[in-house]
Amino acid sequence: MRGESAVDARRAGRFADDQGAATVVAVAILGAVVALGVAVVGVLGASVAAQSAANAADASALAAADAVSGAVAGEPCTLAGDLARRNGATLLECRIEGSAAVVSVALALGPVRATASARAGPPGWGG
């Protein structure tokens, strides 16, 4: 029995000094939460950039289509470029296909670069 109590005493000594274990777990959880937060912010930033690029492309295509139809004065692709710049984007491509306008824009939002395309023309126009 005496040998058993010495073993029990060693085991108790080994496991009795577990102070700080909760700190290690808390730091691990905090690190995981911070990593998840950084990932979420990155995904949301990319989503905002993509939506902003789509909005700029839509507005640019509509402006160009209005110029093609004669609703507004001006050269269609010049108007499309102006509207893209007002929305923080750069006009990459502008072409007129019959009565419709097709544009592509790029937008940089921080480290994220998004591109989008849009087509606008009269109702029922099939190209």
Average pLDDT on 111-122 reads: 92
Report the number of distinct structural domains present in the chain. 1
pLDDT tens, 33-88? 999 998 888 888 889 999 999 999 999 999 999 999 988 999 999 999 999 999 99
- What is the domain extent for residue 71? 23-120
Residue 125 within any structural domain of the chain: no
- Show the beta-strand stretches assigned E in 1-127: 90-97, 100-109, 112-120
Residue 5 within any structural domain of the chain: no
Counting residues of the chain whose pLDDT is more than 70, the rounded percentage is 83
Task: For residues 58 and 67, give the distance between their C-alpha atoms in angstroms, rounded to a whole number.
Answer: 14
